[in-house]
Amino acid sequence: MRLTAFTDISLRIVMRLAVARHEELMTTRAVAGLLAVPYAHAAKAVARLSELGLVEARRGRGGGLQLTEKGRRASVGAIVRALETAGDVVGCEDTPPCPLRAACRLRTALRQAQEAFYASLDGVTVASLVESPTGPALLSLTVPAVPGAPDPAQAAPAL
């Protein structure tokens, strides 16, 4: 089974926020930069995670993102179920629809396999995902340098 890019980005955001110091409020743009994902994708993920009550997003001065206690305790299986689009693993009702759909046993077998996949993630919490060595690796992420941008270390001294 393959997760959507949206779910992948959302899980990475949750993981990064899980290792943030309590007083550290990250912006969506900063998280997108650290995780090397497009800002627009990160913004959509943050909006959905906020709707689910996993992330608190505050706007304006002093605002930022924080993982909620619900987000910290959440099972990865529950998060993935909530983020993945509902529907069949295969396109039985696509256009044109599969001619076997009325008598096919594959659809049921694939649904059971999908649920087994989610169930295997139910015992994994966000907090457990960021235990060492993952947590320190997440904290060491930096925003990649933009080619052609001035190096801040080489900036002219202020007068």
pLDDT at residue 146 in the model? 58
In a domain, 155, yes or no: no
| Residue corresponding to tokens 């743009």 | 29
Q: Which domain holds residue 56?
A: 5-87+125-141
List, for residues 34-91, the tens digit of each pLDDT value.
Answer: 999 999 999 999 999 999 999 999 888 878 999 999 999 999 999 999 999 766 677 7
In a domain, 94, yes or no: no
Handedness of CA 78, 143, 32, 24 (dihedral sign): positive
pLDDT at residue 107 in the model? 81
| Residue corresponding to tokens 């001035």 | 150
In a domain, 83, yes or no: yes
In a domain, 59, yes or no: yes
Looking at residue 1, its amino acid is M
Question: How many structural domains are present in the chain?
Answer: 1
Q: How much of the chain, in percent, has pLDDT values that exceed 90?
A: 55
- CATH code where residue 12 lies: 1.10.10.10
Q: What's the whole-model pTM score? A: 0.81
Please list the residues that pair with 80 across neighbouring strands. Answer: none
In a domain, 16, yes or no: yes
Q: What is the mean pLDDT of the chain?
A: 86
In a domain, 9, yes or no: yes
